Amino acid sequence: MAEQRLPQTAKDRKGFFNHLKSLKLFRRGSPSNVAPTVPTITEEAIVTEKEAAKLRAKYTHFRILVIGRANAGKTTLLKRVCNTTEDPVYSKIDPTSQRGEHDVNVSFSFTSNPGFIFHDSPGFEAGGEEELQNVLSFIQKKAKAREVKDQIHAIWFCFAPDVSRPLLELEQRFFNEQRGGNVPVVGIFTKFDDFITPVYDENKDEEKNREVACAILKERFEKPLMGYKFPPRAYVRFESIDEDDGNHQEQVGELMKQTAASINNLALKILFITVQQNNLELCVYYALNKSVLNLPSVSLTYRSNAGRSSRNGL
């Protein structure tokens, strides 16, 4: 297949979105079993500040489905991602829904970073066949959405790793089922510090204990997951997620990098990068290291602290 490149000069450009359409970067109701055409990203595949701004202006939201068992720390995780202590704002709820009832169709966001829209699904606990089917149907429905803004762009699958409680049967089935839209999945171990405790050896230092825990995690979770037909494309660990003095933003930065790396669709990758408000480092990382964004003088708005905006020129 001939390598496809983004236009490099104003003379070559007939419009950013016309070019994106010609590459078929955005899915518009395509069959779920057909992966979208993805151009090869080379050093020449650079998107200018102006082009990124056009993309950000038209497609203002990046939609993420979050899946995880009860007590997996999903809400805390999302608050860390959006750098806030405030509760999320939900979309209009069906009056027939019960308050507090999980409904994967109900979206929510945080005022600190409204560019992210989330959908929450409870984990597939024992006997949760109906929930598994609901989630798969939801993903399929979103894959058929004609508008990019209505599609699911990424899935964050949250695990609260437990040495005595490996993957449930329904979780295994999720990673063996063909999912609509070829949506990338990132596996997130939300309470890795709790995983370290049962394998802790007081005769080893902290770093050695962490290495042992990492090895067990890979053996008990990551390795089995990679044996399924549709495994996560990346993994991220979180420690001390409930503690206010933890290095949360550093860990969030890793989640953002791994999510961006898991997105094969170039246009969606750009959208994910440019929607950042709390992670300026990701924009800089891709601008300088990944040759995707050409942002020599872009002025980015981000949140340096929950509830406070700053403006930095690069």
Domains and CATH numbers, the chain: 1-314 (3.40.50.300)
Q: Is the pLDDT of residue 196 over 50?
A: yes
The more confident residue out of 303 and 138 is 138
Asked whether residue 279 carries a pLDDT value surpassing 80, the answer given is no
51-78: average pLDDT = 83
Instruction: Report the pLDDT value the prediction gives residue 55, as an integer from 0 to 100.
Output: 67
Distance separating alpha carbons of residues 198 and 212, to the nearest angstrom: 11
pTM tops 0.95: no
What mean pLDDT is predicted for residues 120-134?
82
**Top-confidence residue, 273 or 279:** 273
Average pLDDT over residues 93-118: 76
pLDDT (0 to 100) of residue 201? 79
**Which segment of 28-37, 72-81, 290-299 scores lowest on mean pLDDT?**
28-37
Question: pLDDT confidence of 56, banded at 50, 70, 90?
Answer: low
Taking a C-beta distance cutoff of 8 angstroms, is the pair 306, 83 a contact?
yes
Q: What percent of the chain has pLDDT over 90?
A: 28
> Is it the case that residue 120 has pLDDT exceeding 60?
yes
Q: What is the mean pLDDT of residues 120-137?
A: 84
pLDDT class of 1 with cuts at 50, 70, 90: very low
Task: Name 172's Cβ contacts closer than 8 Å, sequence gap at least 6.
Answer: 224, 228
Q: Looking at residues 222-243, what average pLDDT do you find?
A: 91
Among the listed ranges 62-71, 97-106, 165-174, 295-304, which one has the minimum average pLDDT value? 295-304
Question: Who wins on pLDDT, 189 or 248?
Answer: 189
More confident residue, 293 or 198: 198
Q: What is the pLDDT of residue 312?
A: 32
Position 9 pLDDT exceeds 80: no
Burial of 251 per CB tally in 10 Å (0-12, 13-18, 19+)? buried
| Greatest Cα-to-Cα distance within the chain, rounded to the nearest angstrom | 66
Asked if pLDDT for residue 61 goes beyond 80, the answer is: yes
**pLDDT for 109 beyond 90:** yes
> Mean pLDDT across the chain, nearest whole number?
73
Whole-number pLDDT of residue 88? 94
Average pLDDT, integer, range 282-311: 43
pLDDT, mean of residues 208-230 = 89
Q: Return the pLDDT at 144.
A: 92
Res 242: pLDDT: 81
pLDDT tens, residue by residue, 142-179: 999 988 889 999 999 998 777 666 788 888 899 998 88
